[in-house]
Amino acid sequence: MADAAVRSKKPATSKRTPAGGAPTAPHTAAEASDPRIDLDAVTNLLLGTWADARREAREMLKDPAFHRVDDLGMDEHRERVLSQLHLLVENGTVHRAFPKEYGGEDNNGANIAGFEELVTADPSLQIKSGVQWGLFGSAVHQLGTKEHHDKWLPGIMSLEIPGAFAMTETGHGSDVASIGTTATYDPETEEFVIHTPFRGAWKDYLGNAALHGIAATVFAQLISNGVSHGVHCFYVPLRDEDGAFLPGIGGEDDGLKGGLNGIDNGRLHFDHVRIPRTNLLNKYGDVAPDGTYTSHISSPGRRFFTMLGTLVQGRVSLDGAAAWASALGLYIATTYANQRRQFSSGTGTDEVVLLDYAKHQRRLLTRLSTTYATIFAHDEFLRKFDGVFSGKADSDADREDLETLAAALKPLSTWHALDTLQEAREACGGSGFLAENRLVGLRADLDVYVTFEGDNNVLLQLVGKRLLADYAKQFTGKDAASLARIALGHTAGKVFHGAGLRQFGQTVTDRGSIARSVELGLRADQQHELLSGRVQQMVSDIAGRLRPAAKLSKAEAAALFNANQSELIEAARAHGELLQWEAFTDAVNAVTDEGSRQVLGWLRDLFGLTLIEKHLAWYLINGRLSTQRAASVARYIDRLCARLRPHAQDLVDAFGFAPEHVRAPIASGAELARQNEAAAHYAALAASGTAPVSEKSLKK
């Protein structure tokens, strides 16, 4: 197996004269005499299982009618995005996930893949369409029954019924189970009474609520015959034909936000609003005319999580959209860095291309490796989602794994997007700060991705709890001898940590060999041992610290859990990073072209070593790497960056973006034209014999 820090027969840099204190590296694989990636094959690999749907969406999005116009005010931006939703309807792109009997395609994976591509046009368009069809429409589809589908789905699909998804409240965001809005059943009139009992129970941050929504799927505590049956979803009309609120309904406009200002986010409140009994979306729980409540899921807790689980596609799509937004930012920054020159040695040599600087390679190529990992992990995630929602693999265990995956990957991809877009902005200097080059706009619009559809830290806590539960399953039914062997780390085979993708996590028993392997560059199997071993030990340590909770009072047990919350969230993050690494490795192993396989292998190794460097303190504290050997990780990362530098443009070109998707002047070739013009000017000046003489040369 090739080492991570590959010993190439060719030097990582050319023999051209260094300039400005930085070596002038080969800018292409051909110049370096390196293996080339098969650009089309790598693009197909990145576009994933539903590549055709992505290509179809990208072709549609070449139309300027879908593109964001930066100088629009908030009101104009909102109206433009609404008009774009109608264009999506005309193009038939919003119907894929809906049932065929209503004109849909029952194709959940293709629907999400195409939807994610909207982020390149305008994130406001992506999110507003997600509100309409991915949340409001999906709630009716997934939580309702045929009566509801027949009545409302056609209008939702055609945009005749624009709607809001009224779950979040001012006082409760991620904690949906504790929302304050109530839906009290009145058996005399066979109606539910929707009511907001206090200000904190107002529905808030709702897309389509401020202006365009004429109905909403409202989540409220269902109360019947004096018993609260927990959170359920209700279809509630909001506005009349003139756009005025119906009696008992009020609201406010959230106004200008930090981003996504093409969406009319707003607040809603209800003052004893009556709706028919049949407006309860009753797939998982129903109320008879006399007020009797029934559900085929007897456990209130499981019923609640089952209902919320049907709406997981929001997290799925945010994960993918964040990955492709990162890709777009890196395409812009890398293309610019391959053309922009800055600083010379002061001796008349050419200025240096930004990407020839080692620090610039570190800034962009490490994030490029993470973006590839994020995209490959997302495709596995999307296949899991499609399997559950198509019914091909829809067991309770499959749904639980899907929830775990969503909670593990969405935080990593959205945090990565913010970090990448900010670094890309800085890497482009003042040009990156211009709105026309899109980086600041994308960064602002994606900011909220880290907190909606579940705050990232809250989601990772859910993952951590799953890891602990799966860890505990190892010990169920074991005798004393088996428990002793587990405690000593002598068990054979693998330990399952609730991957949702595969079983993984080989116990690390030979720490010495792993430490020595750094000198050989940390091959793929050794990267995996370090990454999976970290997850296993972190979970094991936390489980040990939480073990006394079983004998404590509820208050004391909660305090003990809270004391370990940060470590649990960090373990969940490590778990998600391992999933990404494994998905990247699966993608590399699927490549048949030798050149592509080698280059992608280097990029995967860069991702793995970057993760190890990121958590180097943990590896040192826990004795997994010596100080000397840990120090070598940074050197190998630098060597990999130099090795990948000639492939940088190919690797971002493989994202498959057309100029209409990029729309950033600094990535259009304009910078190269400026550089060529400057070079021609100085060459002509030198040839003319009239160039001024440098004062420095006169003093030698």
Query: For residue 293, what pLDDT is reported?
Result: 97
Q: How confident is the model at residue 478 (pLDDT cuts 50, 70, 90)?
A: low
**Cα–Cα–Cα angle for 175, 129, 436, rounded to 5 degrees:** 105
Q: How confident is the model at residue 700 (pLDDT cuts 50, 70, 90)?
A: low
Mean pLDDT of all residues in 382-406: 91
Mean pLDDT of all residues in 62-77: 96
Query: For residue 524, what pLDDT is reported?
Result: 87
Query: Residue 273 forms beta bridges with which residues?
Result: 194
**Cα–Cα–Cα angle for 395, 568, 376, rounded to 5 degrees:** 55
Residue 90 CB: number of other CB atoms within 10 A? Answer: 10
Q: What architecture is the 166-303 domain classified under in CATH?
A: Beta Barrel (2.40)
Query: For residue 246, what pLDDT is reported?
Result: 98
**267: pLDDT strictly greater than 70:** yes
Dump pLDDT digits (tens) for 412-467: 999 999 999 999 999 999 999 999 999 999 999 999 999 988 899 999 999 999 99
Residues in Cβ contact with 675 at an 8 Å cutoff, skipping those fewer than 6 apart? 339, 340, 341
Amino acid of residue 112: I
Q: How confident is the model at residue 16 (pLDDT cuts 50, 70, 90)?
A: very low
Tokens of 685: 């000046």
Mean pLDDT of all residues in 664-679: 92
Helix (H, G, I), strand (E, B) or coil at 523: coil
More confident residue, 682 or 582: 582
More confident residue, 309 or 348: 309
Ramachandran angles phi, psi of 299, nearest 5°: -80, 120
Domains of the chain, residue spans? 166-303, 312-478+492-689
Query: For residue 698, what pLDDT is reported?
Result: 81
Dump pLDDT digits (tens) for 161-187: 999 999 999 999 888 999 999 999 999
Mean pLDDT of all residues in 386-408: 91
Q: How confident is the model at residue 695 (pLDDT cuts 50, 70, 90)?
A: confident
DSSP β-ladder status, 191-195 and 352-353: unpaired
Query: For residue 480, what pLDDT is reported?
Result: 61
Residues in Cβ contact with 596 at an 8 Å cutoff, skipping those fewer than 6 apart? 37, 38, 41, 42
Mean pLDDT for the chain overall: 88
For residues 253 and 266, the answer to whether their CB atoms sit within 8 Å is: yes
Tokens of 458: 């809250």
- Share of residues in the chain with pLDDT > 90 (%): 73
Mean pLDDT of all residues in 197-226: 97
- pTM for this predicted structure: 0.91
Query: For residue 503, what pLDDT is reported?
Result: 38
Mean pLDDT of all residues in 29-38: 88
The answer to whether 453 is a known catalytic residue is yes
Residues in Cβ contact with 151 at an 8 Å cutoff, skipping those fewer than 6 apart? none
Calculate Rg over the CA atoms of the chain: 28
pLDDT winner (highest mean) among 344-348, 488-492, 499-503, 662-666: 662-666
Q: What is the per-residue DSSP string for 157-172?
A: HHTSS-EEEE--BSS-
- Per-residue DSSP letter, 248: T
Distance, in Å, from the CA atom of 206 to the CA atom of 130, rounded to the nearest integer, reads 12
Place of tokens 């051909």: 30
Angle between helices 39-47 and 51-60 (to 10 degrees): 100
Query: For residue 525, what pLDDT is reported?
Result: 87
Alpha helices, H only, 434-523: 439-446, 456-473, 480-488, 511-517
Mean pLDDT of all residues in 328-354: 85
**486: pLDDT strictly greater than 90:** no
**Cα–Cα–Cα angle for 313, 219, 142, rounded to 5 degrees:** 40
**Domain 312-478+492-689, CATH homologous superfamily name and number:** Butyryl-CoA Dehydrogenase, subunit A, domain 3 (1.20.140.10)
**514: pLDDT strictly greater than 50:** no
**Cα–Cα–Cα angle for 560, 561, 567, rounded to 5 degrees:** 115
Place of tokens 């707003």: 266
Query: Catalytic one among 453, 529, 582, 671?
Result: 453
